[in-house]
Amino acid sequence: MIESVNNEKVKYWAKLSEKKYQDSENLFLVEGEHLVIEAEKAGMLKEVIVLNGYDYDFKNKTFVSENVMKKISTLKNIPKVIGVASKIKDGKLSGSVILLDGVQDPGNLGTIIRSAVAFNLGTLVLGENTVSLYNPKVIRATEGLIFHLNIVTNPLKETINELKRFGYTVYSTDVTGGISLKNISFKDKTAIIMGSEGSGVRKEIKNLCAEFINIEMNNMCESLNVGVATSIILYELNNR
């Protein structure tokens, strides 16, 4: 059992909540039994850190004290188990595509991932200014579904041009104009860009699109939560 928070392994694990170390090590942490099980099912689980006094049926376990668990965990209430998982391999563009331009709230990205799995999305593209996939709050909000989605992290301009070459129709969402979502018949190769919480899709990205979508709503409401708006579009894409 490791009891010292100054232990080199402990310091190493604790750093894996930071983007810099996630990138250099190609690893990230999943906290709590449910997420560790999902990482294992996906074949991404490298090792497991278990709070002393508990046990789990995982391979490659290290037991640690409560203080050490506190040092590693990002949660207020420390979990009984944390997994060290491989970062997810970048996918390839396929099926229906949603592109995120500047979604900053980790809960929103987590919600979008959960809904994307629910509604069989082909590819989720995370643009250059979107919150990191491996932000601990994103991972928690996905409820483990992060391992079940085809995700591409790539600059948007480049990706949009690639999608066009592949024959995709690329729509931008627009709260003030465009065709109502209810009136669109989506084709096989559809890509839709969702904007940030505060300011929507950036102008230079909109300029790359010829088609615009909005979700019709009461004008007392300026916009929907971006997790909600994306989920409604995912629902319609899945039902086309």
Count CA atoms closer than 13 A to 21's CA, side-chain side. 12
SS3 162: helix
DSSP 167: T
**Do 66 and 52 touch, CB atoms closer than 8 A?**
yes
- The reply to whether 143 sits near its own copies by the rule CB under 8 A is yes
Q: Binding its own copies by CB under 8 A: which of 68, 82, 85, 117? A: 117
**Looking at 75-83, 89-97, 106-114, 129-137, which segment touches its own copies (CB under 8 A)?**
106-114
Instruction: Tokens for 171, please give them.
Output: 């729509």
Residue tagged 């049926």 (tokens): 57
Q: Using CA atoms, how far apart are residues 235 and 218, in angstroms rounded to an integer?
A: 20
Rounded to 10°, the helix 106-118/226-238 angle is 10
In the list 73, 159, 196, 231, the residue contacting its own copies (rule: CB under 8 A) is: 231
Contact between 107 and its own copies (CB under 8 A)? yes
Q: Least CB distance from residue 145 to its own copies, whole Å? A: 6
199 counts as binding its own copies under rule CB under 8 A: no
Site for its own copies in 30-89 (CB under 8 A): none
Number of residues that bind its own copies (CB under 8 A): 28
What residues line the site for its own copies (CB under 8 A)?
107, 111, 114-115, 117-120, 143, 145, 148, 182, 215-218, 220-222, 224-225, 227-228, 231-232, 235, 238-239
